[in-house]
Amino acid sequence: MTTRKDYTRPLDIKHGRVDMGHGAGGRAAAQLIEEVFVKAFDNPYLRQGNDGAALAIPAGHRLVMATDAHVVSPLFFPGGDVGCLSVHGTINDVAMCGARPLYLTASFILEEGFPLAELKRIVDSMAAAAREAGVPVVTGDTKVVEKGKGDGVFISTTGLGVVPQGVDVGGANARPGDVILLSGTIGDHGVAVLSKRESLEFETTIASDTAALHTLVAAMLEAAPGGVRVLRDPTRGGLATTLNEIARQSGVGMLLDEAAIPVLPQVDAACELLGLDPLYVANEGKLVAVCAPEATEVVLAAMRAHPRGAAAVRIGSVTEDPHHFVQMATRFGGRRVVDWLSGEQLPRIC
Amino acid sequence: MTTRKDYTRPLDIKHGRVDMGHGAGGRAAAQLIEEVFVKAFDNPYLRQGNDGAALAIPAGHRLVMATDAHVVSPLFFPGGDVGCLSVHGTINDVAMCGARPLYLTASFILEEGFPLAELKRIVDSMAAAAREAGVPVVTGDTKVVEKGKGDGVFISTTGLGVVPQGVDVGGANARPGDVILLSGTIGDHGVAVLSKRESLEFETTIASDTAALHTLVAAMLEAAPGGVRVLRDPTRGGLATTLNEIARQSGVGMLLDEAAIPVLPQVDAACELLGLDPLYVANEGKLVAVCAPEATEVVLAAMRAHPRGAAAVRIGSVTEDPHHFVQMATRFGGRRVVDWLSGEQLPRIC
């Protein structure tokens, strides 16, 4: 019932393609795992070679787990690819809980016929991102689906982290009077992916901001352990949706200052052309922080001293509002409600 | 650029379908998460509503993480569905490391147009399996891909568990003279899925054995904490591939007794019809244990006293073999090498 292939010879990574045998759990799967995955991620946990990885955790800490499926299309885009994105995205979800990420797991759903060379490029990018972040991929899984039942590569990653003593960060912690900080420009990732997807050419290439933010978070928490109340990365749905989520969870309102929210001129121009509002466009290397007013300056200074927060700004404040509205003082002196993203703006952006 | 839908009204679970907006991270995504996922999985971790879940872990334990993508086709099969399978599969991977599973995460990749009623059925099945196992789904993620870029529902689950003191279970621990135990019949899951996929009718319905094995493992480890050296669930690739993996990892050989390996008569008949060898057919509720010879009887007794191990048997022993061959004494008095599954036998079986 199967085409017999010779899985005893080394993988032909240059010209080979993923076939159904690579997902069947036999010799072919073992070969793919060893020659592509283990080689790239190489670490003592993976080398245990068991169904799971045995891990050490410092005693007496609270743990955080976060998970994300990554289905970005196209797989490669200016500034990144699904591989590094899947590492950054989950590291950031762990970090936004105030935790220090320690370990990642990765599961791959590959489409039959996908070129092994592209898979290797993606896995190598993941491995490089994991190494740069200091967070190893400790165990994984690979499945293959028939051509036309997937879309190249989907990657689900799960992260495990520990929360330092004295840190209490969560979406329900914002209080009226708190200050809202943003670590940099918005919209870069979504516009970078979309411009590649639609083969749009802009005068300047817009690159995704995909990046791991855990060391930025660590610097902020070290500067003011009790002063950072909420952390969140405005990914799908963008800054607007993220702020609405926090407002609802905390039972507060927000007032933003439109003029203070940084958008790169080329992103702004691209959004205008595409009919997008940058407030709803996904970011993959930015964070929003809600801080106690007295901690604002020290947190902002810590952010600006870090390469990922060099352009950090104060964009508004938390208000009392029984409707939990996010409002914005516009450039023209007016005020408008910034609603949730209602449906899709940019599908498959991460 | 999008069809405007009204996401302020309750989801029409009976007639509705997944649309791209359900994956975009805005109001539609929040609605799907609340009305389908949170309602089913309801627990205090999920209700934290953050990017990850904060978890408590008993101090001084080693941790284990395991992850699995589930792409089984069809999604519903006799004895189970992708939902309960995704819970059992990852619980078992954690348990096979000798660990007690504590928490699960789940990430979903949904295909546009998938009926919400079927999604709810799958999620409810997952939630029931998690509840029955006592292992909550603490955080998750949902993505949507366009029609024709996925296949209904893919689910990646990750499990976190703790290893009890004194337990040292791993694929590299088998030693010559050790005894190989099997918890029950083989081939049930693979044949159940395939018969449904190919719309084959057998006289008796063959049901998947999908089940969580962590309480069986706990009973075995309690009976002989140091006597259980290797645990593994023979999923993709079947018993033959699993034993070859262990033989390679431990640098040993194995000698199996064909007559001792239990196969249900209807599974045997179906395999004959389909040209399959039950040794290579996936199981989802069975385990292989390699035990120290002196622990065999007490481990076997503990297995037989547990509903998931009632039919447990001794199927062979570990030998010294520089080639790491798994050999089998056949019913006819001969001996043959049981090789790895080379390519696919049954694609998308889990």
Sorted by where each starts, the structural domains of chain A and their CATH numbers stand as 20-163 (3.30.1330.10), 179-337 (3.90.650.10)
Indicate yes or no: CB of A4 within 8 angstroms of CB of B343. yes
The overall longest dimension of chain A from CA atoms, in Å, is 71
Residue A348: its pLDDT value, please?
Answer: 92
Say what the pLDDT of residue B58 is: 78
Pairwise pLDDT comparison (A154 vs A342), residue with the higher score: A154
Looking at residue B340, its pLDDT comes to 87
Choose the mutation target among A1, A18, A67 for the interface with B, i.e. most B CBs under 10 Å: A67
Alpha carbon distance A301, A293 (integer Å): 14
Q: Percent of chain A at pLDDT above 70?
A: 97
Searching chain B, which residue's CA lies closest to the CA of residue A5? B343
Residue B168 has what pLDDT? 92
* Chain A residues within 8 A of B236 when measuring between CB atoms: 23-26, 29
| Token reading at A153 | 């590569």
CB contact under 8 A, B138 and A59: no
The mean pLDDT of A241-266, rounded to a whole number, is 97
User: What pairing do the DSSP bridges indicate for beta strands A100-111 and A137-145?
Assistant: parallel
Nearest to B95 by CA among B289, B250, B241: B289
Contacts B23 to A, Cβ<8 Å:
71, 236, 344, 347-348
Nearest-by-CA chain B residue for A240 = B26
CB pairs under 8 A between A and B: 330
User: Model confidence at A193, in pLDDT bands (50, 70, 90)?
Assistant: very high
Contact (CB<8Å) B21/A57: no
Closest by CA to A28, choosing from A50, A2, A46, A48, is A2
Handedness of CA B142, B147, B152, B157 (dihedral sign): negative
Region A203-214: mean pLDDT is 92
pLDDT confidence of residue A3: 44
Report the distance separating Cα A53 and Cα A74, nearest Å: 31
pLDDT confidence of residue B3: 44
One-letter amino acid at B90 equals: T
Q: Does position A2 have pLDDT exceeding 50, yes or no? A: no
Tokens of A175: 């209080």
Cα torsion B262, B264, B267, B268 to 10°: value is 60
Q: Work out the average pLDDT over A75-104.
A: 97
Nearby residues of A169 by Cβ (< 8 Å), 6 or more positions away: A96, A97, A98, A221, A228, A229, A230, A231
Integer Cα distance of A253 and B39 in angstroms: 26
CA distance B214 to B92: 6
A23 to B341: CB separation less than 8 angstroms, yes or no? no
As a whole number, the mean pLDDT across chain A is 93
| Whole-number pLDDT of residue A105 | 97
Which residues share a beta bridge with B108? B142, B155
Beta bridge partners of B54: A64
pLDDT confidence of residue A1: 38
Q: Which of B65, B139, B145 to mutate to test the interface with A (most CBs of A within 10 A)?
A: B65
For the cut 50, the answer to whether the pLDDT of residue A12 exceeds it is yes
* Amino acid in the structure at residue A171: G
Checking ipTM against 0.90, whether it exceeds it is: yes
* Dihedral angle, C-alpha A91, A95, A99, A101, nearest 10 °: 20
CB atoms within 10 A of CB B334: 9
Statement: residue A341 has pLDDT above 90? no
Q: Cα dihedral angle (B14, B17, B22, B23), rounded to 10 degrees?
A: 130
Is A24 strand, coil or helix?
Answer: coil
Would you give the DSSP letter of residue B225?
T
- Chain A hits for B53, CB-CB cut-off 8 Å, are 64-66
Identify the sign of the CA torsion B92, B152, A236, A83.
Answer: positive
Contact B106, B127 (CB under 8 A): no
Does any CB of chain A come closer than 8 Å to the CB of residue B27? yes
Nearest to residue A205, comparing CAs of A78, A72, A76, A75?
Answer: A78
Q: Any CB–CB contact under 8 A between B53 and chain A?
A: yes
Q: Per-residue pLDDT averaged across A32-51, rounded?
A: 90
Mind listing the pLDDT tens digit of every residue in chain B (350 residues)? 344 566 677 889 999 999 998 988 778 888 899 999 999 999 999 888 888 888 888 776 789 999 999 999 999 999 999 999 999 999 999 999 999 999 999 999 999 999 999 999 999 999 999 999 999 999 999 999 999 999 999 999 999 999 998 899 999 999 999 999 999 999 999 999 999 998 877 767 899 999 999 999 999 999 998 999 999 999 999 999 999 999 999 999 999 999 999 999 999 999 998 889 999 999 999 999 999 999 999 999 999 999 999 999 999 999 999 999 999 999 999 999 999 887 666 789 99
> Cβ contact (<8 Å) for B65 and A158?
yes
Say which amino acid occupies B318.
V
Q: Are B99 and A89 in contact (CB under 8 A)?
A: no
**Rounded to 5°, angle at Cα A160 from A159 and A161:** 120
The DSSP call for residue A72 is -
Alpha helices per DSSP H over chain B = 27-32, 39-41, 44-47, 82-95, 116-133, 188-197, 214-223, 238-250, 265-274, 296-304
For B:297-326, CB contacts with A below 8 A are none
CB A290 within 8 A of CB A172: no
